Amino acid sequence: MAGTALISFIVWPGWATVLPLAAIVGLSWALPPIWRWRRMRKLAAMTDSLRARSQADPERYVPQLATALDQQARALFGAGRVEQALKASAERIGHHRSLLDSAPDRRRERLDDFAEALDVHRGMLQLAGRPEEALEVNAEALRIRREGLGQWRGGPDHERDVALTLATRASLLSVAERHDEALAASQEALTTLRTISTRDDYRYLPALAAVLDIRATCELAAGREQDALTDAQEAVECCERLINVYRGEYLHLLARITGTRAKILCRTDPDEAISSSARMVQVTQSAARQDALAYTPALLSALTAHALVLNAAGRTRDGRRVARKAISLSRRAVPELLVQTRQQLAGPGRLAA
């Protein structure tokens, strides 16, 4: 689902089988890199084969090639080969664009795939520290999603996807210090989600929580601390409602949003900020011990947020210690998130060092 892709993490299949086996034979330090190398070799061979086939029959093989390039780009990015990942992702976008132009009668069904490809590419650019390029790609994704919503009268799911793309734009604008534009975009996204969530509350509650989190971040950057705290608190409450119904499915989202709220609280109540982020670490550690595959990303998010909160509260040494734990965990258990973890910790104080 296109909307889900905007608020989710990339986790390769296969960990449930590989990691227990590695632990049994005592090769947990060596098997994941070997496995990733073999997987990338296999994906490269697949994309080369599909490129050749697509020359003779583009209608049949170009969609398959685009899917294979997506898998290859994610694998390369997770391995830290960022430029190669971006190259594969850009090629995927080119194929989706050609599919739109080659079959106007099928444009509607292919718009969502194209927008999703743009979202993935934007995310990689953002994590690679190229925010201006990410903003350009986001603008095209927003235009594509609005085209689908306007011409074909898309339902609430399409409205949610437009709102999430708008919220992403707000986040990028905030980083670029274009605060008025960021606040306007996040407000438009929030208004849309408040409207559609009244039709089916729990279906759109994750997106509403995510947008409230982004809105709070934009407000904090613009100096509107009280508004930021109010929206962050509402986002936490949305997540807690989801956890009550769906148990741990949205624990990662709760960890991220709790971190946002704690960073805002740091300015007025650092003790409460540290306490709340520490509690989130404990909750996610407990969940990860029971199901590492499902909850390690949530633990990573909680550790990253706690490190940033400790640093903001002046406890730099403790912040560095927790940051090292986050980086070590991402490298060891979920290497797909290593680039993201480092990027989040590379702010003031250089906790990622």
**What is the 3-class SS of 61-97, one letter each residue?**
HHHHHHHHHHHHHHHHHHCCCHHHHHHHHHHHHHHHH
Question: What percent of the chain stands above pLDDT 90?
Answer: 58
Find the mean pLDDT for residues 271-283: 95
Give the pLDDT of residue 102.
78
Distance, in Å, from the CA atom of 255 to the CA atom of 185, rounded to the nearest integer, reads 24
Q: Which are the contacts of 62, defined by CB distance < 8 A and separation ≥ 6? A: 54, 95, 98, 99
82 and 73 Cβ atoms separated by less than 8 Å? no
Which of 61-65, 149-153, 320-324 comes out lowest in average pLDDT? 149-153
User: What is the structure's pLDDT at 238?
Assistant: 94
Which residue shows structure tokens 């979202």? 119
* For residues 42-50, average pLDDT: 91
Write out the E strands in 190-241.
Answer: none
pLDDT value at residue 26:
36
Residues 6+ apart with CB under 8 A from 349: 311, 316, 319, 320
Mean pLDDT of 331-341: 68
Distance CA 58, CA 89 (A): 18
Query: Looking at residues 97-110, what average pLDDT do you find?
Result: 80
- Assess whether pLDDT exceeds 50 at residue 17: no
- pLDDT above 80 for 323: yes
8 Å CB contact between 336 and 9: yes
pTM: 0.81
